Structure 1
Amino acid sequence: MTVVLETRRLQRNFGAFMATNDVSLQIEQGARHALIGPNGAGKTTFINLLAGVRPVSSGQIFLEGKDITTLPSHVRVKKGLTRTFQINQLFADYTPLETVTLAMLEREGVGGSLWSKVTGHGALVDEAAALLSRFRLAAVMDERTDRLPYGKQRLLEIALAFAAKPRVLLLDEPAAGVPEDERHEVLQIVSDLPSGVTVVLIEHDMDLVFSFASRISVLVAGAIFAEGTVQEIAANPGVRAVYLGEAA
């Protein structure tokens, strides 16, 4: 399989504290890869390094074999690496259709038109409507975003990231705060994205992780503690000890 995203001895220090500790990781194209670990394990810091939100202290990051370690986050987006955040980053008074169309305008390099009427870009509006249907948001595409149920808002944020046509999609707890009966829908929609899109997911709900992931990496104290298939991680007594709180 082709490695689409790779880190080599990645480190990030905050003073004397090492939040990311010598992480070398390879993620294959099309994978549904989960990052798990106890609170404070460094999962979000690691995603921030991949996305360019934080600079690395040392080590390298490669996207499709190209070194992107020093590239700013907006350039990484254009190269096919997008992410979502734990807290929604949405325009409250825009509709989902307007919001996704604006993201597509930016993708096409016409960001100067962001605040003009999006209806002047018919092809992109049609593409946005089709994308919203994929994310089961067609029925609410013309409602104000701040009036949507929280689960729909989370799906909209993922749809926004997907509108950039990523090859790697980084999701930081996409189901956090979503009602229990909607959580599996969110992850199922993500899982059903085209196989050419690689998904890297942070999630605390182990039922969701085990139903979603094809491969799991466990972070502890900023370092890779274990890695393997769902079956291998579920059977690993060390993982149960440090993550699930069971006796080793």
Structure 2
Amino acid sequence: MTAALETIGLIMRFGGITATDDVSFRLERGVRHALIGPNGAGKTTFVNLLTGVLTPSAGTVLLGGQDITALNREARVKRGIARTFQINQLFGAMTPLEMIALVVSERLGEGGRPLARLDASPRLVEETADILARFRLDDIMDERISTLPYGKQRQIEIAAAFAAKPSVLLLDEPAAGVPEAERRELLDLVASLPEDVSVLLIEHDMDLVFRFATRITVLVNGRVLAEGEPADVARDPAVKAAYLGEGAHG
């Protein structure tokens, strides 16, 4: 079966530094996949290559079997890749309702003033309401985003990415800065997304990773050190030595 997202021999050089070193990777359809590694492993560089922020020095990026290596980030979003960032990319003066309606409106090609179109566009109303409900934002949909707790802001950012209707959703440390009590809820929401959305999670919280992921790739010094099911990765001696630490997760 064709992978949802795949890289073949991906290389990214910055002068004499090789940040991504011959990475071949497959994100299978419907999988909850985690990308882990120590600071400086090249995780964010790799995601930037997937999303078109960076152009690789060599190698290929495939989305649903189609070569997208030369496409810019806007074209990749239209093809079905959405992402979140380590730092929220939200319009603080908006409400969750306005934010989600804006993304849905743009995707439907309606643009302009989405709230002014709510009465005239049943599809916009239905899709916006469904997304707000899925991410448990109904009760705060009219609050200004900048006034909301940080955990809720992260939920809104993921909801906005999902509103673009991606086939591949890339989450760059979505739980960073989120209080412990809210982290599991956040990842549970992501884990419950429809199976036609393949998710790649970049995360440092290993408890969340091993709870969320059905497959894990370990990146060290820009290269894939190990890949497999969580239990196999946790037992890998090279992974323990390089990242998890002896005795971690068994």
% of aligned pairs identical? 59
CA distances 1:107-135 after superposition (whole Å, capped 9, x unpaired): 12233x14773545542133212101100
- The question of whether the paired residues in 1 share the 8 Å contact of 2:83 and 2:161 is answered with yes
Task: Give the structure 2 partner of residue 176 of structure 1.
Answer: 176
Structure 2 distance, partners of 1:142, 1:118, is 17
**In the alignment, which residue of structure 1 is the partner of 2:116?**
117
With the length of structure 1 as denominator, give the TM-score of the two structures: 0.95
AA in 2 matched with 1:117: A
Runs of 4 or more off by more than 4 Å in structure 1?
none
1-structure distance, mates of 2:237, 2:158:
34
How big is the shift at 1:104?
Answer: 0.9
Q: Answer whether contact 2:85 2:171 (CA < 8 A) is retained.
A: yes
Unpaired segments of 5 or more residues in structure 1? none
For 1:85 and 1:229, the matched residues in 2 are separated by 25
Separation in structure 1 between the aligned mates of residue 24 and residue 39 of structure 2, nearest angstrom:
21
Q: Which residue of 2 aligns with 1:147?
A: 147
Retained in 2: the 8 A contact 1:95–1:144? yes
Aligned length in residues: 246
Q: 1:181 to 1:236 in 2, by over 3 A?
A: same
TM-superposed deviation, 1:80: 0.8
Residue 26 of structure 1 deviates from its aligned partner by 1.2
Matched ranges for 1:79-90 at <5 A: 79-90=79-90
Residue number in structure 1 paired with 2:131: 131
User: What is the CA-CA distance between 1:238 and the residue it aligns to?
Assistant: 1.0
TM-score (norm: length of structure 2): 0.95
2:231 is aligned with 1:231 = yes
Gaps of at least 5 residues in structure 2 are none
| SS of residue matched to 2:207 | helix
Cα distance in structure 2, aligned partners of 1:119 and 1:202: 35
Is the 8 Å Cα contact of residues 98 and 114 (structure 2) preserved in structure 1? no
Aligned position for 1:66: 66
